[in-house]
Every structure is written in structure tokens, then in C-alpha cells.
Chains A and B, each alone.
Chain A
Amino acid sequence: MAVLRHGRLSKIICLSWLAVFIAQCIPAYADEPPLQMEEQKIEAGLIYNFLKYTDWTPAKTEATSTPIVICIFGKDPFNGYLQPIEERTVKQRNITIRHVDKIPETSRCHLLVVGTEKKELWPELHEFLASKDVLTVSDLSGFSDAGGMIQFSQRSDRIAMDLNTKAIAEAHLHVQDSLLRLGTIMNHSSREDQ
């Protein structure tokens, strides 16, 4: 009752709708809204792009009938969003995902995703993979500093990539410049706000 006595309430709400109506008549800036996605989908999409933009040594890519192998060492960090990649091809080759538990199994991988919980095993794994052409990717913080090749991290509300070009070159892998340009080359310091 009291609100109505002031007689302002219905006016306020009506005015708000009017404001929206007017806002509708102003042509919106043509800027496209940013895509919004779950982190795991973005990273899965990037993994597919890594396959497209990376050249492995001829030895590894000999038989075109063999599929490109993505290995996941540890728990699947993609929440299952990487799985549909097996329905796609890259450079006319099939893609397959393998879950590996033991370090020796990783030598046959083209791309190896290192789960964050395997942090302790990374030095050993890194040593094992030395001069094997396996592209290593992880969410582990400090991964690219510790010899990992591609590290994902979230900066404000975007996914960022830190690239260790030295490690990529040492593994005789070739990642195209158009992809390298989009990441941060790890020798540059990256700031973390805490």
C-alpha cells in the first residue's frame, strides 16, 4: 500500500521498460560478441589445431595408414570434449586417442597431454622423451619452463598458450609460424596476478 501511495513504483518499472525500448532503437555497434566456451572445449579445439599446424619427422609419419596418436597421460583434462576428435582427420589421416599410464608407452605418441596430477613424474618423462618427436602439452603451471612445449593457462577470462620453441626445435618438430605467433614464447617473463 505504502509504495503505491508514493505512486512511483509503477512509473519506475514502466520507465525501465521504456529505456530498454529506446535502447533497441539505437543501432548496436557491429562488434561481434566474444565467443563463450568452456575451458575444456577451447583447449580441445586448440589440440586439433596443433595437429594441423605441426609437422612431425618423416620417420614418424611414414605410413599414411597409421593414425595420428594423441596420448593422455593421467586423467582426461578435457572432460570428454576431446573424444569427438577421433571422428575427424588431419592431413588425410585418422586421429586416435590413447590413455597411457607408463612412461615407455609415450614414445609412440604424436601429441602427449600431461595431466596436472602427474607433475611429480614430469622430470622423468621429460628425460625419457628427449630427442623423441612428441609434442608435449599441459595445464601444469611452470610446464613450459620445465622443458614442456605448450602450456595452457587461463589469463583473466581467456586461454593463453606459452610456447617453448627451444624444446620444440630440439624434438625436431616443426610448428608453423602462424600458430607460434599466437602464443607467448616462454623466454619472455609472464606475469601472474595473485
Chain B
Amino acid sequence: MSCKLEDRRPDWKSYALGELDARARQEAESHVAACADCQDELAGLRVTLDAMATLREEELPRRIAFVSDKVFEPRWYEKLFLRPSFAAAAVIAAAILVHAFVRPVGAPTNATAQVDTRAVEARVTAEVTARLQNEMAAAVNTAVTKAVAETEKRDDHRTALLLSASDRRYSDAADFLNKQVTRIYALNTGAGVR
């Protein structure tokens, strides 16, 4: 039996891989309920993907970590410009200076007052923006520090547990070995037998 839709049959690979939108998915599901050919194709794909899911992720032989290296750190002026508040303030300050020195010749005198008002508004906006961004940066900084500390604490705890389990296993193995040696000695010498 072959699918009656032929070239217009649903894209079962996209379906199985979760790439169909809701409508196409619904149409495909309605069709497959009554099409043995498509049922076979979908079943084969599902078996394949289920088999592939048995492949487990492997652990890294050792963790990847970096240490602070001056070579890769941004320079002081780069750091300043990486802070959005500083960059914004610098751009606004530059704009005010340019406007002050390059204003049109013959402009009406009352323009000076207008420029000053704008400059004050810009400065206030810049200060408020800078303050907000500083607060946000401080909050993120605190959260990152906390997360790093928690990760380290969790790693320490896990290491302690592993060491403790390892000690226990070693102790059990030593006990078992001692008992075995005592038993063999007793069997060989006749001591303690019956």
C-alpha cells in the first residue's frame, strides 16, 4: 500500500524532529491515523530516534577553567567604555561640547538660553541613567559573586562526599580482606576450625 498523498505527504522527518508548526503537525496526525504507509515511515523514524537517545553524554576527563591573565584583560580605557553608563555620559558630554562650539553663526541671542536648558536636561538625564545602570551593574555583580560562591561550595561538598564514600569503601574492603586473611590462616593452621 502507498500513501495516497504521494508528493504532498507530510514531512515526517521534520515532524519527528519537532520542526513542524502546530497546524502542519495537526494535519500530519490526522493523516497518519488512516495511512498505513505513513505509519510505517513514522514508526521507523521513532525507533531510530529512540535508539539514538540511548547514547549517553560523556563526562569531561578534566574541567576547563581559566585564570586571570593581564594579556587578555581589557585596558583601563576599554573597561571604561564597556560600561554603558560611562559610554552614554561621554557621548552626551561630547554632543553638548560640539553643540556649544559649533553653533550656527548669527543665531539669535536667546538661543544661548535654549542651549543651556537642553544641556541641563541632557546632564540630568545622563546622571539618572548612569545611576540606574550603576545600580543594575551592582545587582548583577552581587548575583554573579553569589553564584560563583555557591558553585564552589557545592563542588567542595561533592568532593567531601566522594572522599567520605571512598574512605568508607576502603575501610570496608580492608575489613573484608582482614577477615579473609584470618580465615585462610585459620584454615591453613587449623586454629579456630570447629
Partners in one complex: no
Please list the residues of chain A having a beta carbon within 8 angstroms of any beta carbon in chain B.
Answer: none
B interface residues, Cβ below 8 angstroms from A: none
